[in-house]
Amino acid sequence: MKKIVFSVIILIGFSGNFSFAKIVKDDETTGSQPNIILVITDDQGSGDIGINNQLIKTPVLDELAKQSVQLTNFHVDPTCSPTRAALMTGKYSINAGVWHTVMGRHMLASKHHTLAEALKDAGYKTAMIGKWHLGDNYPFRPQDQGFDHVLMHGGGGVGQSPDYWGNTQFDDSYYLNGSAKAYEGYATDIWFDEAISFVERFESKSDPFFLYISTNAPHVPYRAPKSYVDQYLEVGLPQDMATFYAMITNIDSNIGRLIAQTEAAGILDNTIFIFMTDNGSSLAMQSDGEPMSILSDELLARLDITSNSLNLGMRGGKNSVYEGGHRVPFFIKFPEKDRVTPRTIDSLTAHIDVMPTLLELVNLEYSSKDFDGISLAETLLLNEGVPDRTLVITNQRVLNPTSKMPFAVMQNNWRYVKSSQKEDFELFNVSSDPGQTLNVIDEYPEIADNLAEIYKRWWESISDTGFETTRIILGSDHENPSRITGHDWHAEITSNSPWWPGFDHYKDRWSSGWIGKEEAYAGAPWQVFFSDDGRYTFDLYLHDKPAKKPVRKEFAHLKLNERVLTKRISDGDTHVSFEMDATQGKSQIMAWFDDGDGQAIPAFFLYVEKLD
Q: Is residue 394 part of a domain?
A: no
Q: Is residue 296 part of a domain?
A: yes
Q: Is residue 390 part of a domain?
A: no
pLDDT of 201 > 70? The answer is: yes
pLDDT of 19 > 60? The answer is: no
Q: Please give the average per-residue pLDDT across 354-376, as a whole number.
A: 93
Q: Is residue 425 part of a domain?
A: yes
Q: Do 345 and 69 form a contact (C-beta atoms < 8 A)?
A: yes
Q: Please give the average per-residue pLDDT across 16-32, as a whole number.
A: 36
SS3 content of the chain, % helix, strand, coil (to 5): 25, 25, 50
Both 236 and 267 in one domain: the answer is yes
Q: Is residue 491 part of a domain?
A: yes
Q: Is residue 12 part of a domain?
A: yes
Taking phi over 0 as left and psi of -120 to 50 as alpha, with beta for the rest, 507 belongs to: left
Q: What is the mean pLDDT of the chain?
A: 92
Q: Is residue 391 part of a domain?
A: no
| Rounded percentage of the chain residues whose pLDDT exceeds 70 | 94
User: Which among 422, 446, 463 is the end of a domain?
Assistant: 463
Angle at 81 between CA 378 and CA 43, to 5 degrees: 85
Both 410 and 343 in one domain: the answer is no
Condensed to tens digits (0 to 9), the pLDDT of residues 520-576 reads 999 999 999 999 999 999 999 999 999 999 999 999 999 999 999 999 999 999 999
**Among 562, 568, 579, 575, which Cα is nearest to 605's?**
575
User: pLDDT confidence of 204, banded at 50, 70, 90?
Assistant: low
pLDDT of 64 > 90? The answer is: no
Q: Please give the average per-residue pLDDT across 281-300, as a whole number.
A: 94
Cβ neighbours of residue 423 under 8 Å, at least 6 residues apart? none
Condensed to tens digits (0 to 9), the pLDDT of residues 468-523 reads 999 999 999 999 999 999 999 999 999 999 998 889 998 899 998 999 999 999 99
User: Which among 463, 483, 501 is the end of a domain?
Assistant: 463
First to last CA, the chain: 56
Q: Please give the average per-residue pLDDT across 21-47, as a whole number.
A: 68
Q: pLDDT at position 266, please?
A: 84
User: pLDDT confidence of 14, banded at 50, 70, 90?
Assistant: very low
User: pLDDT confidence of 3, banded at 50, 70, 90?
Assistant: very low
Both 541 and 562 in one domain: the answer is yes
Q: Is residue 396 part of a domain?
A: no
Q: Do 222 and 159 form a contact (C-beta atoms < 8 A)?
A: no
Q: pLDDT at position 27, please?
A: 37
Total domains in the chain come to: 3
**Longest CA span, the chain:** 78
Both 479 and 440 in one domain: the answer is no
Q: pLDDT at position 444, please?
A: 98
Both 553 and 514 in one domain: the answer is yes
Both 237 and 310 in one domain: the answer is yes
Both 508 and 455 in one domain: the answer is no
Both 458 and 328 in one domain: the answer is no
**Among 566, 604, 562, which Cα is nearest to 583's?**
562
User: pLDDT confidence of 335, banded at 50, 70, 90?
Assistant: low
Q: Please give the average per-residue pLDDT across 201-230, as a whole number.
A: 92
Both 17 and 61 in one domain: the answer is yes
User: Which among 463, 480, 508 is the end of a domain?
Assistant: 463
More confident residue, 231 or 500: 231
| Rounded percentage of the chain residues whose pLDDT exceeds 90 | 80
- In this prediction the pTM is 0.94
User: pLDDT confidence of 207, banded at 50, 70, 90?
Assistant: confident
Torsion of Cα atoms, 448 then 453 then 457 then 458, to 10°: 0
Both 343 and 413 in one domain: the answer is no
Q: Please give the average per-residue pLDDT across 333-347, as a whole number.
A: 83
CATH of the domain at 193: 3.40.720.10
CATH of the domain at 548: 2.60.40.4070
Q: In what order do the strands lie in the sheet with 426-429?
A: 390-394, 407-411, 414-418, 426-429
Q: Please give the average per-residue pLDDT across 82-100, as a whole number.
A: 97
Torsion of Cα atoms, 551 then 561 then 475 then 142, to 10°: -80
More confident residue, 150 or 34: 150
User: pLDDT confidence of 15, banded at 50, 70, 90?
Assistant: very low
Give how far Cα 153 sits from Cα of 124, 244, 308, Å.
Answer: 24, 20, 37
Taking phi over 0 as left and psi of -120 to 50 as alpha, with beta for the rest, 515 belongs to: beta
Range of the structural domain that residue 567 is part of: 472-610
Both 218 and 299 in one domain: the answer is yes
Q: Do 217 and 244 form a contact (C-beta atoms < 8 A)?
A: no
Both 507 and 436 in one domain: the answer is no
Q: Please give the average per-residue pLDDT across 217-228, as a whole number.
A: 97
CATH of the domain at 420: 3.30.1120.10
Condensed to tens digits (0 to 9), the pLDDT of residues 375-408 reads 999 999 999 999 999 999 999 999 999 999 999 9
